[in-house]
Amino acid sequence: MTEIPTRRSQPAASPAAGYESPVVREPGGLFPWWTVLVVGLVSILFGLAVLVWPDVTLRVMAVLVGLWLLLIGITRIFGAFLPGPGLGRQVLSGVIGFIILIGGLLCLRNLVNALAVLAFMVALTWLFTGLAETIMAFQATGVTRMVFLVVGLLSLAAGFVFLFWPGLSLAALVLMTGISALILGIGELALAFRLRRETS
């Protein structure tokens, strides 16, 4: 009897074998990097203007703060309509931008004529900015998360200082506003360049 050799069946080669799907990177980053850059530059210019303005009065301070808030608010609102990886980022940027914009308009329309109210406006700006960037820190990774967190916590700390400083004088308000704007503006620039590096 002739023995018929049996052929061991080989598994069919998958057409996808050895093929690695490309990693798709979402464009845009957590925040559009250039909006963060604009906020940083505006804050630095505002801080310098406040510190070098000779004999700044409450009215002049209110106008400077109003212009600062107006530009930051418009930038954040505009950034909310840009495409990004998540709806939450757009809503957060839009809401905070709208609140800051309203604060700027109040300052410019001469509705802020008390030192405590002006300090409250600056405090709210830092608090909302710090809140937004602290939230975004938990959606980032690595160095970007650290930069977001540092800038966010510094903004929150500055906001609480303005909010709870007892008997804040105009001179103290000017000095604290100018220094905090310079420090946090530099932090925003560092964050912007980090986001630009990630999206390039």
Domain-embedded: residue 2? no
Find the domain containing 73 and state its range.
33-199
Domain-embedded: residue 142? yes
Domain-embedded: residue 191? yes
Angle at 53 between CA 49 and CA 57, to 5 degrees: 115
pLDDT at 28: 43
Domain-embedded: residue 137? yes
pLDDT at 84: 62
pLDDT at 138: 87
pLDDT at 85: 58
CATH number of domain containing 130: 1.25.40
pTM of the model: 0.79
Which amino acid does the sequence have at 108?
A: L
pLDDT at 55: 84
Domain-embedded: residue 130? yes
Domain count, the chain: 1
pLDDT at 45: 96
Residues in the chain: 200
Please list the rounded mean pLDDT of every run of 10 residues in the chain (200 residues): 50 45 41 87 95 88 93 91 70 90 88 82 93 88 90 95 86 93 95 85
- DSSP structure string for the chain: -PPPPPPPPPPPPPTTTT--PPPPPPTT-SS-HHHHHHHHHHHHHHHHHHHHSTT--HHHHHHHHHHHHHHHHHHHHHHHTS--S-HHHHHHHHHHHHHHHHHHHHHHTT---SHHHHHHHHHHHHHHHHHHHHHHHTTS-HHHHHHHHHHHHHHHHHHHHHHH-TT--HHHHHHHHHHHHHHHHHHHHHHHHHHHHHH-
Domain-embedded: residue 56? yes
pLDDT at 139: 83
